[in-house]
Amino acid sequence: MALALEFYRSAPKYLGARTLGSKAPGLITGGLAPLRLVTQQDPEPTREGWARVKPRLAGICGSDLATIAGTSSFYFSPLVSLPFVPGHEIVGDLLDDCGDLKAGQRVVISSVLACAARGEDPPCEHCAAGNVGRCDRVTVGHLKPGLQTGYCAETGGGWSRLMLAHRSQLWPVPDGMSDATAVLIEPLACAIHSVFRAAVPPGGTVHVVGAGTVGILTLIALKAFTTADHVVVAAKHQRQRAAAAMAGADDVVRPEHAVKAVRRTGRAVKLTPERGMEFLLGGVDVALECTGSSSALDLALRTTKAGGRVVVSGIPGRGADLTPLWFRELDLVGAYTSGVEDLGDGVQRPTFEMAIELASNLPILEELVGATYPLGRWRDALDHAMAAGKLGTFKVAFAPQERQEI
């Protein structure tokens, strides 16, 4: 029997959380929470290619918080199966031999439950090309619906003591890498993917909106994989700004000063509308929205030059004003999870492989993991994660094998 946090949604409770979630974050971890601590039957791998994984650390992601708070879109409802165990940023120990990997191997998990995991043969066109994040079959095949591990009723997720994963999801962790660094591989792979989606022109200017974990990892990926000449980072909280400066941002400002800061990078004209945020005619080549709020997306759209590109790196906030998208002929692109990246000259590499290599050379990454909690303290963990920016914390994670202190 294994301990797990389970997301179960009863409509009235869920709707309650949806109304209250944004106004009173503490309440979503109280009586209205769609989450509960349960003891589950140990999952058993019943199909070829599946194995048990014992999570060592499992991160809490903005998308998890949006799901629990009921603020994410109902669009997701047919893409998940209930009840599920959340947690898709995972480092753990393999308990069974799995293909070429031996039991005892420490692994990180590429979370998409795509064609390979679902036994879909032949795979969809996207999986065939390596773009597993774009898989069209995430609701069919052997498994119940679930776009990723952490949203599927059958696989379990990272916020538990035991879960299942498919060989296609497993990546061995180099021996010298700490668990705290390894738990950031999945979000780092997402950041690398969004930087490839950004297609920054050589010597281009970039605006990164937000410097929580996603923003900082995005900045690190920008430095590693592009030749961006000038990167402006807008961040609300002091520790975020300090981390952005350390990670190599050229200019770090509060969001309210970002329009001015971007104007300084070129010969942009700043205009102030009768209502709402000021904007530029001119601006950066590329902006990356890394917070999931509509005001951050507004800021990204309003500081990108005509013909430039805006990348949405997380579940987008609703209600952004798309007028600049039209008027400035911007390209608005999404960046969801990871897959393979095109390195030019016909060379492609799995994003996870690139993330593992980059993280191996950046042991300082582990400092982004600011707090870990046993599963029994899930309310404290989620409250901490919700207020992470304010509290000066980046990543909050569960340490599922830890016993709760009494």
Query: Minimal distance in Å, beta carbon 337 to Zn ion?
Result: 13
Q: Which is nearer to Zn ion, 127 or 332 (CB)?
A: 127
Q: Which is nearer to Zn ion, 115 or 261 (CB)?
A: 115
Distance CA 306, CA 286 (A): 10
CA end-to-end distance (rounded Å), the chain: 21
Using CA atoms, how far residue 109 sits from 13, 65, 183, 297, in Å, is 31, 20, 9, 29
Q: Which is nearer to Zn ion, 29 or 110 (CB)?
A: 110
Q: Which is nearer to Zn ion, 54 or 134 (CB)?
A: 134
Q: Which is nearer to Zn ion, 112 or 262 (CB)?
A: 112
Distance CA 275, CA 257 (A): 17
Alpha carbon 361 to chain centroid distance? 21
Query: Minimal distance in Å, beta carbon 147 to Zn ion?
Result: 11
266-290: burial string, b at 16+ Cβ within 10 Å, e else: eebebeeeeeebbbbebbbbbbbbb
Q: Which is nearer to Zn ion, 130 or 374 (CB)?
A: 130
Query: Minimal distance in Å, beta carbon 125 to Zn ion?
Result: 8
Provide the β-strand partners of residue 217.
Answer: none
Dihedral (CA of 3, 4, 10, 12) sign: positive
Distance CA 259, CA 324 (A): 14
Query: Minimal distance in Å, beta carbon 149 to Zn ion?
Result: 15
Distance CA 359, CA 210 (A): 21
Q: Return the closest-CA partner of residue 76 out of 311, 288, 320, 316.
A: 316
Q: Which is nearer to Zn ion, 135 or 381 (CB)?
A: 135
Q: Which is nearer to Zn ion, 132 or 311 (CB)?
A: 132
Distance CA 213, CA 186 (A): 12
Distance CA 369, CA 398 (A): 11
Query: Minimal distance in Å, beta carbon 258 to Zn ion?
Result: 38
Distance CA 307, CA 106 (A): 45
Cβ atoms of 124 and 115 closer than 8 Å? yes
Using CA atoms, how far residue 104 sits from 32, 172, 282, 399, in Å, is 39, 11, 54, 18
Q: Which is nearer to Zn ion, 93 or 136 (CB)?
A: 136
Query: Minimal distance in Å, beta carbon 133 to Zn ion?
Result: 10
Using CA atoms, how far residue 396 sits from 2, 65, 248, 271, 282, in Å, is 22, 11, 23, 39, 38
Q: Which is nearer to Zn ion, 193 or 305 (CB)?
A: 193
Residue type, 381: A
Query: Minimal distance in Å, beta carbon 356 to Zn ion?
Result: 23
Query: Minimal distance in Å, beta carbon 126 to Zn ion?
Result: 6
Token duo for residue 358: 């980059």
Query: Minimal distance in Å, beta carbon 155 to Zn ion?
Result: 16
Which residues contribute to the site for Zn ion (CB under 5 A)?
114-115, 123-124, 127, 135, 137
Query: Minimal distance in Å, beta carbon 118 to Zn ion?
Result: 8
